[in-house]
């Protein structure tokens, strides 16, 4: 499973398919997967179906998309979708996993993060819960860096 800030999906579809095959990725959550309309959704699903994957996103897609490899993750379902948060539930090896794909605003927006916290806390989480994406949580523009490493601890 992985998260990938794709910065626009057009022109990168073959790279995504190749990466999913080479890295044997079962679930890929994309941020900044902009520009998916009805036509692109059909095209992407055709390309992904060759490697037994399906694309989950709203049309028109503003920010997020999820790719699921159906041969290894046959049980999956979208449980929440909005512009900056997508949540799916999958079953892998008899384990239920809830996955949240998030794309945060670049400006300081504490209301956004409170809303995300409130939304996520309303889900019934069975098994495991993972949240990932491109969070962009900075208070001041001068605090932005090219890399941000986050360590999660139990």
- Domain residue spans in the chain? 2-143
Q: Which residues contact 91 (CB under 8 A, 6 or more apart)?
A: 73, 74, 75, 76, 97
- How many helices (H) and strands (E) the chain has is answered by 3, 8
State the DSSP H helix or E strand holding residue 46, giving kind and residue range, or none if neither.
Answer: helix 38-49
> What's the average model confidence in pLDDT over 3-23?
87
- Residue 93 scores a pLDDT above 70: yes
Q: Is the pLDDT of residue 138 over 90?
A: no
Is the confidence at residue 146, as pLDDT, over 70?
A: no
* 150 CA to centre of own chain: 17
Provide the pLDDT for residue 150: 42
Residue 46 banded pLDDT, cuts 50, 70, 90:
very high
> What mean pLDDT do residues 133-139 have?
77
Superfamily of domain 2-143: Endonuclease/exonuclease/phosphatase (3.60.10.10)
Strands 27-31 and 2-5: parallel
Q: Which residues pair with 30 in a beta bridge?
A: 4, 65
pTM of the model: 0.84
CB 150 within 8 A of CB 21: no
pLDDT band at 11 (very low <50, low <70, confident <90, very high): confident
């Amino acid at each position: 499973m992985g998260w990938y800030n794709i910065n626009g999906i057009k022109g990168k579809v073959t790279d995504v398919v190749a990466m999913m095959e080479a890295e044997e990725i079962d679930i890929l959550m994309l941020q900044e997967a902009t520009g998916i309309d009805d036509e692109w959704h059909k095209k992407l699903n055709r390309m992904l179906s060759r490697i037994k994957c399906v694309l989950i996103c709203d049309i028109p897609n503003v920010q997020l998309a999820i790719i699921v490899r159906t041969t290894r993750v046959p049980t999956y379902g979208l449980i929440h979708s909005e512009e900056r948060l997508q949540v799916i539930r999958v079953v892998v090896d008899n384990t239920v996993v809830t996955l949240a794909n998030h794309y945060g605003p670049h400006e300081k927006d504490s209301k956004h993060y409170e809303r995300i916290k409130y939304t996520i806390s309303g889900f019934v989480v069975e098994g495991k819960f993972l949240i990932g994406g491109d969070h962009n949580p900075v208070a001041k523009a001068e605090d932005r860096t090219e890399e941000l490493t986050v360590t999660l601890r139990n």
